[in-house]
Amino acid sequence: MEHQRSKTTWILGIVGAVLIIGGILRWGVLQPYLIPSPSMEPGMAPGDRILVNRLAYRLWAPTRGDVVVFAFPKDTKRTFVKRVIAAENETVELRDNQVFVNGNVIKEPYVKQGDYPPYGPELVPVGKVFVLGDNRRESEDSREWGLLPKTYLLGKAWMVYYPFRRFRIF
């Protein structure tokens, strides 16, 4: 009887610890988000669910290529997902359907092909980043509403976890 009680206590303790750690991760570190639009195709499609590391930008600065979740500057109750194209003190320019950072074309294997209008050149000041959707023709991004203040960053996308056939880690 005593052995059964200690085993039950041990199992309940483990279950409780898992639930507490899961809650901390869910609300503190990892948070799920839904991709609502085609702006990040082909890598992320409408309906995809992603996990976001909410501590990422408390510990380090965003860098080119990061997929970020942020509060939309025109309505901070909304969240957007885009890719960092240029960070602080970098000059960004879009022309001939290519992106140039500091005068050099960057490789973007993740971009959905298509024409998009020129932009810049523009120097990204300290405290801001320039973000674009991977589907440039279907994206509301820094070209439209300006540079994103880093204080609006909510986290860095970590993985697509659903649907399972689209699972991938960034």
Please confirm, yes or no, whether 139 is among the known catalytic residues. no
Quick one: DSSP state of residue 61? -
Q: Active site residue: 37, 39, 77, 150, which one?
A: 39
Burial of 125 from C-beta contacts in 10 A (0-12 / 13-18 / 19+): exposed
- Our CA angle for 148, 27, 49, nearest 5°, is 65
142 as an active site residue: the answer is no
User: How many other C-beta atoms lie within 10 A of the C-beta of residue 147?
Assistant: 19
Please give the backbone phi and psi of residue 138, each rounded to the nearest 5 degrees, phi first.
-120, 35
For CA atoms 42, 38, 142, 63, the dihedral sign is negative
Smallest Cα–Cα separation from 64: which of 38, 99, 96, 25?
Answer: 99
**Residue 66: which of 85, 46, 79, 48 has the closest Cα?**
85
Catalytic one of 6, 37, 77, 82: 82
Catalytic site positions: 39, 82
